[in-house]
Structure formats: structure tokens, C-alpha cells
Amino acid sequence: MSDKPLLVTRHGGLVRAVLNRPARRNALNGALSADIDALLAGLREDRSARVLVLSGAGGHFCAGLDLDEVGAPLPEEQRMAAQLERNRAIGARFAALASLPQVVISAVQGSAFAGGLGFVCAADIALAAADARFAAPEVRRGLVAAQILPWIVRRTGRSQAARMVLQGHVMDAAEAARIGLVHQVAPDAAALDALVEATVADVLQGAPGALAETKAMLAALGGAVPEGYAEAGARAFARCTTSGEADEGIAAFKARRAPAWLADQSG
């Protein structure tokens, strides 16, 4: 398989984009994020493309932001600025995906965590294999699920979203379907492929202009992200990364140990 971080293929009006960092469970680093942004920018003006299918290589969808980049050793002021810029870009990326004129389908195997979960919820249609797992674990890393939260709320409602971002637990595919996080679950990878193909075939029965107009009308019902939220979320994330909790949470995650705040509660 190519070492490009994003593999894009096209057949007629169908565009497939595969996140391709399997050794990192397709975690988002700078190169992968830049490739996704370039793809979305191109699709926005491409009326010959009708469907985008987003998936991941190596049996996983996307494990979220690459924590090696979040925890990079920088002076506090530079770190705050870098995290602020990164989180602003993340929010803009989800908005760009959701506002595409094409119908966006997420096809999920394995992990769909944090930012990966954001992609699932920003897509129009979410399909999963039975082995898919979903989580918003940011609080367990000393971070905040800032930019994915509005999209989870849009998909599941505020109550279920609150549970996901506060509890931070891993949810299986059956539970994800029950709360509306995904639309349908297939028993295995082969069945997921078949389900995606059938869904694409259904979508392509629609007239291109009518599909784009329908998406515009759905957007006119109200945006997922309230005015001012994206900037507030970016600042909240940046504050968390420089609070010390993120350093401990990320270090504990990498070392596969309990973070210090759990040890503090044991006494």
C-alpha cells in the first residue's frame, strides 16, 4: 500500500478517501490533516463528484489526533498558540466536510475515537462493521472534546452526547446504532463493503442538483455549531494542553498506566 497519508481514488461520481496511517490507527497528524483539507477544498467546487466515502486503512477508521503532536515539547506560549491554531483548523475541517455538496458516507471499522468520531458525525450517513468502537476519551487524557461535541450532539442529541464526552467510555457498534451515532451496522468487513456499495447505489439514483439542494436545505434548518462556539472550543482545548493535566494524561496513556488524578482519589 502507498505511504501517502490519504489515498484518494475516483470512479465516475464516486470519490473514495482512505486515511492511511495504519501503524497509528490513522491518527491525524499534520500531513494527513493537510491532505484532507486539500481534498475537501477541491470537492467543494467539483460538481461532477457526487458521493464521498471516507474510511480507514488497516482495520481502523481513525483514532483521533496524534497525541505525539499534542504533547510536543514547546515553550508554553508557543504551545498555546500551536494548539489554538490546530483546534481552529479541526473545527473548520468538520464544518467543511459537513457542508460539501456531495453526499458523505463514513464507513467505520475498528476505532473511531475523538477526531475520528467527529468525522463519523459530520458525515451525512454513518455505516459501521460490528467490530467498530466509538469513544470521546479526551477528558481521560486531560483534554476537552471541544470541536467534536456539536457534531455528536447533532447526531445523537445532547443527553447522549453529554454521556459520551463526560464518561469517556468505549462504545460498541450495537450501542452506537441504538443511540443513533451510526445508521446501520454490518456483521463484518465484507458485509460493510456491500452495505456501502448498496448505499452509494441508492444515493446515485438521486439527481445531482437535487441532492446538492437537499443538503443545502438540511443546512438551512440550523447549523451544528453555534456562533462563537468554534473559537471558544479552540481556546478551551489550548488551555487544557497547557494546564499540566494533558501532559500527565498523555504520558499515562502512552505508558498504559493510570493518570495521577486517579492515584489522588485512591486515598
Tell me the pLDDT band of 82, cut-offs 50, 70 and 90: confident
- Beta-carbon count within 10 A of 12 CB: 10
Fold of 6-188: 2-enoyl-CoA Hydratase; Chain A, domain 1 (3.90.226)
Q: Across all residues in the chain, what is the average pLDDT?
A: 94
pTM for this one? 0.94
What pLDDT is stored for residue 111 in this prediction?
Answer: 98
pLDDT digits (tens, 9 = 90+) for 25-78: 999 999 999 999 999 999 999 989 999 999 999 999 999 999 887 766 667 778
Return the pLDDT at 77: 76
User: Is residue 142 a contact partner of residue 240, using CB atoms and an 8 Å limit?
Assistant: yes
Q: Render pLDDT for 129-158 as a digit per residue (tens, 0 to 9).
A: 999 999 999 999 999 999 999 999 999 999
Mean pLDDT of all residues in 12-19: 97
**Residue 104 pLDDT class (50, 70, 90 cuts):** very high
Q: 218 or 76: whose pLDDT is higher?
A: 218
Cell of 162: 453529554
